[in-house]
Chains A and B, each alone.
Chain A
Amino acid sequence: MSEDRRVHNRLAVLRAERRLSRKQVADKLGINYQTVGYIERGDYNPSLELALSIAEFFRLPVEAIFSLRPMARLSAEVFGELPADGH
């Protein structure tokens, strides 16, 4: 597997949804707040331990937050995407 393979994530969306700052998330996870930003931006792939801690923090399965493929929009995943003409 390529070393620089990107892991996509929904961290920014989940954080915005719960109105949490990077610092708040970082403090709970015991990491630096910049690291949260680097993960959100896709510049850093977290370890399995950190990914599981993040999943536990948001009370979601890890695959709901991290994926090897680009993630679908959360709204589309929850409600299903309507056809382009709206019917």
Chain B
Amino acid sequence: MTTTISNRIGYLPRSTRRLLVAAALLCYPVAVAVLVGLKHTSLSRWLILAAFLVLVLATAVLVTVGYVYARGRIEGRCARLDERDLALRQQAYALSHRFLAVILIAATAAIAIYLTNGNTLRIDANSFLPAVMWIVVYIPAMPALMLAWIETDQPADV
């Protein structure tokens, strides 16, 4: 059963993979936004918590799919990495570095603009923990997700 699922993930077409990667990258920020945005509304707290947990669970599942797709090609656990695998791994690392740099620069710029407008920023557990969680979840997963993003469709078996 596990092998069947893992094989199916290995043969996912590029368009589906890209959709899953985009969803994996969006689910956690959306989950945090749901929690923060709906906290002060009249909506039931249980409903908000349920929505948050569903999105966090979706993030975990999608990131796992990314890891399964990469199948040891990122960490080099795979028994035989040929020159194409190594080139692709390098490309995935470079792309994840670029992606993280863009996120970091955008976040820093947004905070800088916010602060220069006379606002103050209070860092407490409510703002710090989601950021830490984002780093914990995405930084290790990013190369596998980027590999799933850049890999072309597998040639048909002949």
Report if A30-B158 is in contact (Cβ < 8 Å); known contacts: A38-B152, A43-B152. Answer: no
Interface size (A, Cβ < 8 Å)? 17
Rounded to whole angstroms, the CA-CA distance of A40 and B152 in the bound complex is 14
Number of B interface residues in the complex (CB < 8 A): 11
Contact A30–B82 (Cβ < 8 Å): yes
A-B contacts, CB under 8 A, total = 35
User: Which residues of B are in contact with A by a Cβ distance under 8 Å?
Assistant: 80, 82-85, 152, 154-158
**Are A50 and B83 in contact, with the CB atoms below 8 A?**
yes
Q: Is A32 within 8 A of B155, CB to CB?
A: no
Which B residues are in CB contact (< 8 Å) with A31? Answer: 82-84
A35 — nearest CB in chain B belongs to which residue? Answer: B84
28 sample A-B contacts, Cβ–Cβ < 8 Å, listed by A number: A21-B158, A22-B157, A22-B158, A30-B80, A31-B82, A31-B83, A31-B84, A32-B80, A32-B82, A32-B85, A34-B154, A34-B155, A35-B82, A35-B83, A35-B84, A35-B85, A37-B155, A37-B157, A37-B158, A38-B84, A38-B155, A43-B152, A43-B155, A44-B84, A46-B83, A47-B83, A49-B83, A50-B83
